[in-house]
Structure 1
Amino acid sequence: MIMKFILIFILQFICYSQEKNIFPKDAILIKLFGEGYFTEGPAQGPDDCIYFSDLTFTEETEMQAGVIWKYDLKTDQAFVYRSPSSMANGIEFNSHGEMIICEGADFGGRKISITDLNTGKSKILAGLFMKYPFNSPNDLVIDTMGSIYFTDPRYIGYENIEQPVMGVYKIDKDRSVQLIISDIPMPNGITISPGQKKLYVGCNFEGNEENKPLMAIYKCQLDEKANVISKEIFINYLDGSGPDGITIDSEGNIYVAVRHEINPCIKVYNVEGKEIDSFKLPEVPSNLTFGRGLYSNILFITAGGCLYKIKTTAQGFFSI
């Protein structure tokens, strides 16, 4: 009987160790950059630089026009890549090394653009839906086929809201645009599972006169043609905090930038929605991404006006 209890204890310890080991005990959070106003959308480019946006809310910054910063991982130097930025928010890179940008409202572009890093020239991938501008494209993810999924809420900006919903859209390779989710109150962060069968969408909705607040992450099931066939609340935040940016690792674990004024942190959930690890931050996070190549176990985090990095035991996942 004693041996049985010992065996059970050992098995429980092993399972716990396997589950809660994303952030090593000796993991150190390192600040790489601290000169921004509201940093967002980190993504590693093919040149081993982290590109990230700086949302300079115009009413609060004497009409500053936004910045895309470039942090060189080899030299540890930061440079202004582009300003004005068209109020760039989420950033990703496609299989050709081109930068895909969500451009928001507040005197921004309200569109999805693509930039060739070699020439600096840009094109518009999606600027209108049903002949009207988007609300304020926020974040995006790219699947293995090259389709782009992006969220379109509105948190700030003087422009009229001309879309009837706060939606989630898909841009196919032929540049056709589809509204794939129309009933998540305020879609925000977004990522896709390694198997391409699940789309995760964060909702950060503080409520209004007609609707209650909802802070949650949805799990959306995709069919073979990447159509959403069902969705459910995967994680529900009931304490007033909520998810901002989200990303995923090669095992399908979900990493969430939790916007909580008292306990700002990164939380990690397994495929069943169970919290398996967390890391407290010195300021409220907005987004996060894994690096690529030599940096694939490094989590890069935007928080406040800063860019941070921290080592993990995981490997990031990218569809392309």
Structure 2
Amino acid sequence: MHLPQTVEPRNPGMDLDLDWVMRAQANTSAIERRAAQLGTRRSVKKEYQAAWLLKAVTCIDLTTLSGDDTAGRVRRLCAKARQPLRPDLLEALDMQGLTTGAVCVYHEMIAPAVAALEGTGIPVAAVSTGFPAGLSPFDLRVKEIEASVAAGAKEIDIVISRRHVLTGNWQALYDEMRAFRAACGAAHVKAILATGELGSLRNVARASLVCMMAGADFIKTSTGKESVNATLPVSLVMIRAIREYHERSGARVGYKPAGGISKAKDALVYLSMIKEELGDRWLSPDLFRFGASSLLGDIERQIEHHITGAYSAAYRHPMG
């Protein structure tokens, strides 16, 4: 089964290859040098920048994960997902029908999100497995996935047990991820690594490989609740693991940076990195997503500047 916007076969996974996992290393200084160059080597302007920003919009998982979420807030967010830019801006660009990639919510908010997005083809993603810490009992985490799928979620963002990475228990991480993938059934599964809590870039590389071997459809940087979320060095490590996994297995796995990406210029850097490291095929919502909320407002503001030549106040671009 494919998501509405998906054309890529799912990652079937493979047996755990511990030799491959243990060979994975990360040259931190080289990675940081490469990451530092990404935002300085080139820039896109005018209509090219507008086109890239419109591409970014289609790859946003528009997200609300707050303790004070209500059905009304979620419905407003879904309205923004259905029409992410003001009608006059869409008309000026001849981009009517543009939508975000998905809407991401807690389990309790799945029902209003599904109702609000009915007939649009925009999937609802639900965070699961004791998000954000992932420390609830294992059987409850599995049942949470099953409940979210039954409620209508087409994508499940699970959190891994960080302790398995920190103690090097790769078999336990693999088994956990396989169980989560099985519980998802036809729903796509995104594995949140919580990279800010994994201790090293080498651990990020190894955890990325293990989750992909276990059948993750996406690997995702963060919950957005850690003190350090998506960064360019972490992203380089993860997407190079994706590239190596594709070269060896033939399966394409998606990538989702999340947390702290709030400016249009940051989105452009991430998109250019994906293009250079993975190629154009990954520049689609079935293989790349931003986990974000405020990012869309800044993109809309930059698009308006492209059309009118003037910057407007941020309050003129609300989420709902």
> Normalized against structure 1, the TM-score is what?
0.31
> Normalized against structure 2, the TM-score is what?
0.31
Greater share of residues in strand: 1
Higher relative CO (Cα under 8 Å, sequence separation at least 6) belongs to 2
